[in-house]
Structure 1
């Protein structure tokens, strides 16, 4: 216990001795943003991140469902359960496409109202 106290007190003393002032004024200030740039940023994030990640997930889902269909070819009940996966896959793809469409539509409405 005494060794831990020595280590903690030494670390605290070192931090107090070596503490420097923060020179935040050397960096640029916080820039102002307007609503149109925020909308563009959100749309860009959805397109740049959402589409590739969602597309990859959809691709791997199709591959997994196809493998399950091959494995369960002899069992009609399990094959029917696997076919339900295509419905969920379609819903997921529709939601992903809908997110891109809605983001673009809202950005377009915002730009038309702004000008």
Structure 2
């Protein structure tokens, strides 16, 4: 059992961190692979979070654009409905002086004999 006590207990303090003696410790040498893996995982996590934030900003911009296009579509459809009313069509024909008149007789269906 005295062999276990032969290991020097290394006390970590702010002074050992600042003067660099922490880098000489056995604990750091034994766990360098674990520390490396943790640092790599942190970097991957930061990278993924950055890309997801970028994607969220892009999606938000597209949703705003979609709302604008929808409202424009509704206004264009309403304008088209207004322009296609018979009274509007007649007013536009009169204003353009095409010389067209409204037919006095109702439309008729033409029948063609197939031989």
Same fold (TM over 0.5): no
Q: Which entry has the higher C-alpha Rg, 1 or 2? A: 2
TM-score, structure 2 normalization:
0.32
Higher RCO structure, 1 or 2 (CA under 8 Å, sep 6+) = 1
> If each structure's helix is expressed as a fraction of its own residues, which one has the higher value?
1
